[in-house]
């Protein structure tokens, strides 16, 4: 009798997220909306957490960004170099990621992130983006569309606002917000605006010199996935200049809320 073939081994793509006991490393949960069952009239909002910039995890992350800028690496996978508690400390990335001009692959698997800074749009060499199983990351800044080389993404789409599987609603945005003097744009309330700082327009990239802040949602294909993108613009003209939304999603730009017309959920 012929010997049975050796069983095929399947590589674990994420071994760094398995603890010494063989179990996944614990992460924060999210209850913003049900990520397994469609509730199209759910009340959703932005995560209100502010990044603790004095925490060990944040300070370690800043050092890792500086290190990556210095050595010009093409893959940036910072969370694997943080301890489990340090990973839980980090709920966003620093604006200094815009200096990572050589990085082609940004890996954020299993993060505790709730938002990304618009400076991700400065990572112009980015070709692959992997925030997979970052279940508290429900949207992305519109500036990510400036990463014109980005061709591959691995995103947990059922965690996204407006995703095709469940069609959760988008947080309702303010009509035309007066965010106050320009200097206050570095200290915004994320529960109201989604972000903590806005320095330039998402569309025209000019400084936000006036008091007006126009925000809309738009769903666009970015690399492999259709992502809900938050636009923070300096004028109504910039909103009017936005491209069409992705086919099969809420048409064009909108202000959010459960009454926005979306196609039926795939799992409905």
Helix/strand/coil (H/E/C) assignment for every residue in 175-195: CCEECCCHHHHHCCCHHHHCC
Evaluate whether residue 215 is within a structural domain: yes
Residue 54 has a pLDDT of 98
Helix (H) or strand (E) holding 215: strand 212-222
Query: If you count DSSP H runs as helices and E runs as strands, how many of each does the chain have, helices first?
Result: 4, 8
Rounded Cα gap, residues 172 and 69, in angstroms: 37
Residue 15 has a pLDDT of 52
Evaluate whether residue 124 is within a structural domain: yes
Residue range of the domain that includes 226? 42-240
pLDDT > 90? residue 25: no
224 conformational bin, left if phi > 0, alpha if psi -120 to 50, beta if neither: alpha
User: Average pLDDT over the chain, rounded to whole?
Assistant: 88
Split into its structural domains, the chain has a count of 1
Using pLDDT thresholds of 50, 70 and 90, give the confidence band for residue 265: confident
Residue 10 has a pLDDT of 40
CB 22 within 8 A of CB 12: no
Count the residues in the chain: 268
What dihedral angle (degrees, nearest 10) is formed by the CA atoms of 221, 225, 227, 231? -40
118-162 per-position pLDDT tens digit:
999 999 999 999 999 999 999 999 999 999 999 999 999 999 999
Evaluate whether residue 258 is within a structural domain: no
Using pLDDT thresholds of 50, 70 and 90, give the confidence band for residue 26: low
Evaluate whether residue 121 is within a structural domain: yes
Using pLDDT thresholds of 50, 70 and 90, give the confidence band for residue 12: very low
Question: Most distant CA pair in the chain: distance in Å?
Answer: 82
180-234 per-position pLDDT tens digit:
544 457 789 999 999 999 999 999 999 988 778 999 999 999 999 999 999 999 9
Using pLDDT thresholds of 50, 70 and 90, give the confidence band for residue 251: confident
Residue 17 has a pLDDT of 52
Residue 128 has a pLDDT of 98
Rounded Cα gap, residues 235 and 215, in angstroms: 9
Evaluate whether residue 28 is within a structural domain: no
More confident residue, 258 or 76: 76
Tokens standing for residue 43: 């009340």
Task: Using alpha carbons, select from 108, 148, 115 the residue that is nearest to residue 130.
Answer: 108
Burial class (CB in 10 A: 0-12, 13-18, 19+), 175: exposed
pLDDT > 90? residue 237: yes
Total-model pTM: 0.88
Neighbours of 149 (CB within 10 A): 12
Evaluate whether residue 178 is within a structural domain: yes
Work out the average pLDDT over 234-263.
94
Lowest mean pLDDT among 26-35, 63-72, 148-157, 164-173: 26-35
Tokens standing for residue 40: 């199209």
Evaluate whether residue 257 is within a structural domain: no
Q: Could you give the C-alpha distances from 62 to 65, 68, 141, 149, 188, in angstroms and in order? A: 5, 10, 21, 25, 21
Q: Is the dihedral of CA 224, 127, 217, 40 positive or negative?
A: positive
Evaluate whether residue 134 is within a structural domain: yes
Using pLDDT thresholds of 50, 70 and 90, give the confidence band for residue 29: confident
- Tell me, what DSSP letter sits at residue 131? -
């Amino acid at each position: 009798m012929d010997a049975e073939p050796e069983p095929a081994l399947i590589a674990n793509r994420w071994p760094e997220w398995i603890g010494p006991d063989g179990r996944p490393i614990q992460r924060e949960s999210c209850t913003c909306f049900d990520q397994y069952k469609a509730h199209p009239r759910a009340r959703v909002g932005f995560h209100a957490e502010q990044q603790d910039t004095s925490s060990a995890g944040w300070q370690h992350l800043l050092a890792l960004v500086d290190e990556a800028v210095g050595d010009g690496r093409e893959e940036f996978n910072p969370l694997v170099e943080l301890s489990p508690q340090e990973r839980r400390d980090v709920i966003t990335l620093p604006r200094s990621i815009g200096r990572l001009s050589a990085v082609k692959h940004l890996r954020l698997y299993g993060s505790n992130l709730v938002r990304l800074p618009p400076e991700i749009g400065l990572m112009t060499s980015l070709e692959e983006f992997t925030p997979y199983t970052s279940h508290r990351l429900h949207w992305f800044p519109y500036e990510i569309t400036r990463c014109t080389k980005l061709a591959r993404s691995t995103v947990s789409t059922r965690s996204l606002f407006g995703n095709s599987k469940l069609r959760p609603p988008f947080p309702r945005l303010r009509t035309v917000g007066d965010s106050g003097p320009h200097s206050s744009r570095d200290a915004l309330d994320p529960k109201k605006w989604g972000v903590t700082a806005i320095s330039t327009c998402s569309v025209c990239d000019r400084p936000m010199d006036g008091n007006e802040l126009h925000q809309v949602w738009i769903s666009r294909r970015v690399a492999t996935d259709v992502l809900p993108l938050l636009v923070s613009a300096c004028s109504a003209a910039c909103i009017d200049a936005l491209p069409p939304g992705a086919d099969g999603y809420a048409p064009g730009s909108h202000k959010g809320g459960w009454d926005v017309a979306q196609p039926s959920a795939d799992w409905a």
